[in-house]
Structure 1
Amino acid sequence: MAVNETERRAMARALELAARGPRGVNPQVGAVILSPEGDVIAEGWHHGAGTPHAEVDALSELAPGTAQGATAVVTLEPCNHTGRTGPCAVALIEAGVARVVYALDDPGVASGGGAERLRGAGVSVDAGEQAEVAHELIGGWLTAQQLGRPHITVKWAQSLDGRAAAEDGSSQWITGPDARADVHRRRSAADAIVVGTGTVLADDPALTARDGDALLPHQPIPVVIGSRPTPPDAAVHRHPHPPLFFDTHDLDAVTADLHARGIQSLFVEGGPTLASAFIEAGLADRVLAYIAPVLLGGERLALTDIGVASIDQARRLTVDEWVPLGPDLLAIAHPATDNRLQNEGAL
């Protein structure tokens, strides 16, 4: 059965409702219930972890029996497992819903399979309606589900000859104002920003996302990795979000912890040592290299040891885009292969 215009309009509305929900451990999901005649009789969205899912939130607006023969239009495949709440697929079946239209499949091993369960109960199901729009909304969550950790962007700024700082350690500013403004916009799009204790002690960064002197509306949660203590008067303590500190060099443990907190995207901006550690561990899904037309020489390289002993072990990248930013150039790239699979044989 093809998706009709009424269902398409309902999906557009469900996507608007989904955006009202918070980003976090659970996806942002919206739902609209249509009567057999095509009228909107209920709406709902997921309000956060532990609250009813969007379908159940919408059904809660209806008296028993009202959803008999109705159509549920949902931005994500109704779940098929019991967590803090019961399976949405079962709730729809028990409510008497006759048809379900959804945008994206649920990638979860436990939570997926709702469509199959619905079809098994005789419910008509159509998938993929406005999937691209839905993916734009919860793409970070989907990636985090597939990886079991946040999507990680590793950023650095360098001179044309690959240096992150001059011989005396000074690095402000290698790149110009256009490049720095671009960095702040990308910080604002991330859930968290990560540096090492060395960067905190050397540069005392605020780790905020700014437009000039003004804070941008969304601020990434600051994360500091390393064993050296952060001074109590460090600028990171004045961040709008309380910083997270990890006294460890185990990046897998750090990213797993952040994933459990609902952080879907991580912006690594912690200097050569930390950037190199993430890359060596195969934990760089995207690289942002800001290249300035200056020469510095010396030993302060933008990257240090990343586990490459010979050319055949090189970390190959695919460049997605070259972006001119005033006199500077931004290279946006991703690993040409799964580096962790390549170097370790398995995830």
Structure 2
Amino acid sequence: MTGPPLVGVDLDAALDRAVALAGRGPARDRNPRVGCLLLAPDGSIVAEGHHGGVGTPHAEATALAAAGPSARGTTAVVTLEPCSHHGRTPPCAEALVAAGVAQVVYAVADPTHAGGGAALLEAAGVGVREHRHTASERLVADWARAAALGRPHVTWKVASTLDGRVAAADGTSRWITSPQARAEAHRVRTQVAAVVVGTGTALADDPSLTARDHRDRLLPDQPLRVVVGHRDLPASSRLAGPDAGDATTTEGEVLHLRTHDPVQVLAALRERGVHSVLLEGGPTLAAAFWRAGLVDELLVHLAPALLGAGPGAVPDLGIGTIADAARLELVEVDRLGPDLQLRLRPIPPEELH
């Protein structure tokens, strides 16, 4: 789809601004973060808007309200294709047409049932252009992936020795991996919406699950910290929180979900606007998600060390014969100091034949 040329307008710069606006919206929300600019023919900004979360006006509606009659003849630059469906708010595509917007430039096509706004706009005589923009794609990547899955995307993270041990025979486990690998693990926590452990890990290790820098300072982006299981945690635990609710501490939110069902866990997290989950718990939690077919990716930090004994990194997955072995696709390999980081994708059985 193409529209008339925009003279003297830097679309990448405009979309950079729209992404910055979108960042004002909630980091965890059922809806994606979206930013919108309305540009005059000379490229100057007439109005701006961003989506503030479920139930609030969309970015386009916010910008149109700010512009009023000045919206007529403008170009709307939006990070995500305007929606075309009636939900809690009216369709943005219809609002843009009604306001007399001359052209719409969007960076990412809407992959959900709300898509189709571009076609609606074109049918109404509005010029439409799709302009690829990396930052806009990153902005909605987790949301789009979760929308396709119908649940949050799940990554199972493992840190182990070369022989697959996560601790020595005496139970000691600090530190299996290098400072570089641990720094990357903290960075990964800033890239997901929630980090999940079971009550067993919470009781045994009392982890904070926060994202910190090399000086042990909290990083700006913190995940929702989630404990799964029925057992109570002591009040002194760093992950102690009220039943079926969340607690906000100086280190971010904590949620205790009193269930052992991975499907219920992901449904509860999706309701809270979580689109990506990092499993950092022990073998019981990992096995439950794996057996339920709810692991989309593995992130393995492999240290060049041997223990020969001690707890294994991988739980009993119910595999009894080599023919049933879980096969993985090696997607990416990176070196983290002396360690390796392997990113892998489970290969569905139908892809093996």
Q: TM-score, normalised by structure 1?
A: 0.90
SS in 1 for 2:151: coil
Find the partner of 2:24 among 16, 20, 27.
20
Structure 1 partner of 2:218: 215
Find the partner of 2:320 among 303, 306, 309.
309
Structure 2 partner of 1:55: 60
SS in 2 for 1:199: helix
Q: For the residues of structure 1 that align with 2:105 and 2:187, how far apart are their CA atoms?
A: 35
CA contact (8 A) 1:11 1:130 kept: no
Structure 2 partner of 1:102: 106
Matched residue type, 2:294: L
When structure 1 is superposed on structure 2, of 216-225 and 19-28 the one drifting more is 19-28
Structure 1 partner of 2:295: 284
Matched residue type, 1:278: F
Find the partner of 1:113 among 92, 113, 116.
116
CA contact (8 A) 2:105 2:129 kept: yes
Structure 1 partner of 2:74: 70
Which structure 2 residues correspond to residues 243-262 of structure 1 after superposition, within 5 A? 243-262=254-273
Find the partner of 1:191 among 183, 190, 193.
193
Matched residue type, 1:30: G
Distance apart, 1:205 and its partner CA: 1.0
When structure 1 is superposed on structure 2, of 178-187 and 36-45 the one drifting more is 36-45
Matched residue type, 1:151: H
Structure 1 partner of 2:161: 159
CA gap 1:206/1:13 in 2 versus in 1, 3 angstroms:
closer
Q: For the residues of structure 1 that align with 2:330 and 2:179, how far apart are their CA atoms?
A: 23
SS in 1 for 2:311: coil
Matched residue type, 2:165: R
Structure 1 partner of 2:285: 274
Cα deviation 1:93-118 (Å, max 9, x = unaligned): 11112221111111121x11111211
Distance apart, 1:183 and its partner CA: 1.1
Distance apart, 1:60 and its partner CA: 0.8
Structure 1 partner of 2:341: 330
Which structure 2 residues correspond to residues 133-212 of structure 1 after superposition, within 5 A? 133-211=135-213, 212=215
CA gap 1:174/1:81 in 2 versus in 1, 3 angstroms:
same
Distance apart, 1:157 and its partner CA: 1.2
CA gap 1:36/1:318 in 2 versus in 1, 3 angstroms:
same
Matched, 1:131 2:142: no
CA gap 1:174/1:43 in 2 versus in 1, 3 angstroms:
same
Find the partner of 2:86 among 78, 82, 87.
82
Q: For the residues of structure 2 that align with 1:219 and 1:133, how far apart are their CA atoms?
A: 20
Cα deviation 1:327-347 (Å, max 9, x = unaligned): 322212222x346x779xxxx
Find the partner of 1:6 among 4, 9, 16.
9
CA contact (8 A) 2:171 2:310 kept: no
Distance apart, 1:38 and its partner CA: 4.3
When structure 1 is superposed on structure 2, of 299-308 and 231-240 the one drifting more is 231-240
Cα deviation 1:59-104 (Å, max 9, x = unaligned): 111233x323322111111111222211111111111122211111
CA gap 1:242/1:68 in 2 versus in 1, 3 angstroms:
closer
SS in 1 for 2:239: helix
CA contact (8 A) 1:119 1:125 kept: yes
Q: For the residues of structure 2 that align with 1:269 and 1:104, how far apart are their CA atoms?
A: 31
CA gap 1:3/1:319 in 2 versus in 1, 3 angstroms:
farther
Matched residue type, 1:96: G
SS in 2 for 1:103: strand
| RMSD of aligned Cα (Å) | 2.1
CA contact (8 A) 2:15 2:136 kept: no
SS in 1 for 2:294: coil
Q: For the residues of structure 1 that align with 2:338 and 2:43, how far apart are their CA atoms?
A: 56
Q: For the residues of structure 2 that align with 1:309 and 1:319, how far apart are their CA atoms?
A: 23
Distance apart, 1:263 and its partner CA: 1.0
Q: For the residues of structure 2 that align with 1:187 and 1:63, how far apart are their CA atoms?
A: 41
Q: For the residues of structure 2 that align with 1:267 and 1:16, how far apart are their CA atoms?
A: 26
CA contact (8 A) 1:151 1:265 kept: yes
Q: For the residues of structure 1 that align with 2:219 and 2:325, how far apart are their CA atoms?
A: 38
Q: TM-score, normalised by structure 2?
A: 0.89
Matched, 1:31 2:31: no
Cα deviation 1:290-315 (Å, max 9, x = unaligned): 11222222352111122322223222
CA gap 1:273/1:14 in 2 versus in 1, 3 angstroms:
same
Q: For the residues of structure 1 that align with 2:251 and 2:86, how far apart are their CA atoms?
A: 35
Q: For the residues of structure 1 that align with 2:93 and 2:168, how far apart are their CA atoms?
A: 60
Which structure 2 residues correspond to residues 227-238 of structure 1 after superposition, within 5 A? 227-237=230-240
Q: How many residues in Structure 1 have an aligned counterpart in Structure 2?
A: 338
Q: For the residues of structure 1 that align with 2:73 and 2:250, how far apart are their CA atoms?
A: 51
CA contact (8 A) 2:72 2:100 kept: yes
